[in-house]
Amino acid sequence: MPAGEKKESSHEKPKLSDFKLLRTLGTGSFGRVHLTQSKHNNRFYALKVLKKSEIVRLRQIEHTNSEREVLIHITQPFIVNLWDTFQDDANLYMVMDYVPGGELFTLLRKSKRFSDDLARFYAGEVLLALAYLHSKDFVYRDLKPENLLLDADGHIKITDFGFAKYVPDITWTLCGTPDYLAPEIIQSKGYGKAVDYWSLGVLIYEMLAGYPPFYDESQFKLYEKIVMSKPKFPSFFNPAAVDLLQHLLTADLSSRYGNLRRGSRDVFEHEWFAPIDFEQLAQRKIKPPYTPKISGDGDASNFEKYDELKNPYGIAQADPFRKYFPNF
């Protein structure tokens, strides 16, 4: 892990009793995210709760610890902020920014597909976040519309760093979402930051078309299509977008943008991005083309409703797994 300012200091850890749990915002394979309100400052937070026994059963100890370590080391306007972590006998807790605008995925499904301007704005903010992560030798590995939240103004916040990893050179782990996996991951080759540029290509394509570039009911056939990497471009695609996507969605690492001598500059300076002033965008000075409907702090109407848990957290019990999560 690189040296850098850690966010936490030797302060007193928060506890579950410091928060009012209001409702579920999302669920995952070993936990859920709740909208909570601090009893101390009345601010709203997203509280990610992960069940230790499930993390261990699903062999996700390394990923879980890595998510915390990556988020502790980064501060960037388009990445969700981690405030603190703590644990009790059964669960790990991550106190994060509450981002009230909902998932980009939801907006994309409602809109069917985005205009070039809308897609370019979101892709530009994502590109700035990826370039920042890569500058610190972190690979994100899970770019998809479900992991992009919209803040109250309509700016992107990347969330879910469960697959993010410090990778100064290459790594070998198979992880990510099938539709978004780069060919080199599927082929079990050592890979690095270039996988995030492939996923950026998939994201831009899906925003412009309303569906991903590679699709098949069969996962094996989906992987075959990805490795072949010959996406079909709809006739309504802007030629500049097609050119950029051909340079991102290529299995040939010696020609994939983001992986060449000029690094991310090949993407930043591509003609499809020409209408964007990236310095203004980086300072959040460009007005987002879409503003989520939000009625006050703590409004969660942009998130799906979930059945709430019957079993409360924080019950004292045996804790055989604490040793695996020493930093929480």
- Determine, yes or no, domain membership for 60: yes
Residue 327 within a domain: no
pLDDT at 261: 94
- State which residues form the domain around 48: 16-100+297-317
Give the least confident one: 10-14, 102-106, 236-240, 289-293: 10-14
Place of tokens 């479900």: 146
Distance of CA 145 to the CA centre of its chain: 8
Verify that 223 and 304 share a domain, yes or no: no
What pLDDT is stored for residue 9 in this prediction?
A: 52
pLDDT score, position 179: 93
The string of DSSP letters for 116-179 reads: HHHHHHHHHHHHHHHHHHHHTTEE----SGGGEEE-TTS-EEE---TT-EE-SS-B----S-GG
Q: Are strands 138-139 and 44-51 parallel, antiparallel or unpaired?
A: unpaired
In this prediction, residue 175 carries a pLDDT of: 83
What CA–CA distance (Å, rounded) separates 120 from 86? 38
**H/E element holding 85?**
strand 82-87
**Domain identity same for 167 and 241:** yes
Residue 78 sits in the same domain as residue 31: yes
Q: Are residues 114 and 216 in the same domain?
A: yes
Mean pLDDT along residues 210-222: 95
What lies within 8 Å, CB to CB, of 178 at 6+ separation is 219, 222, 223
Contact by Cβ (8 Å): 158, 128 = no
For residues 19-39, average pLDDT: 93
pLDDT at residue 236 greater than cutoff 90: yes
Within a domain: 240: yes
Q: Residues 304, 252: one domain?
A: no
120-177 pLDDT, tens digit per residue, is: 999 999 999 999 999 999 999 999 999 999 999 999 999 999 999 999 989 988 888 8
C-alpha pair distances (Å), 160 with each of 27, 63, 187: 12, 11, 25
What percentage of the chain exceeds 90 in pLDDT? 88
pLDDT score of 76: 96
Q: Do residues 175 and 254 both lie within one domain?
A: yes
Give the integer Cα–Cα distance in Å for 17 and 73: 27
Instruction: Let me know whether 152 and 235 are in one domain.
Output: yes
Task: For residue 42, give the CATH number of its domain.
Answer: 3.30.200.20
For the segment 210-215, the average pLDDT, to the nearest whole number, is 96
Using one digit for the tens of pLDDT, what is the confidence trace for 274-318?
Answer: 999 999 999 999 999 999 999 988 999 999 999 998 878 999 999
Instruction: Determine the pLDDT at residue 7.
Output: 54
| CATH number of the domain where residue 178 is located | 1.10.510.10
Residues 261 and 311 in one domain: no
Model pLDDT, residue 6: 46
Indicate the SS3 state at residue 197.
helix
Q: Which residue is it, tokens 């309504």?
A: 236
Per-residue pLDDT reduced to its tens digit, 96-117: 999 999 999 999 999 999 999 9
pLDDT value, residue 4: 43
DSSP code for 104: H
Q: Is residue 10 in some structural domain?
A: no
* Residue 72 shares a structural domain with residue 114: no
Over the chain, what is the mean pLDDT? 93
In a domain, 188, yes or no: yes
pLDDT band at residue 8 under the 50/70/90 scheme: low
Question: Rounded to whole angstroms, what are the CA distances from 34 to 48, 64, 187?
Answer: 6, 18, 37
**E strand or H helix that includes residue 222:** helix 219-228
Whether residues 92 and 140 share a domain: the answer is: no
Known catalytic residues are 142
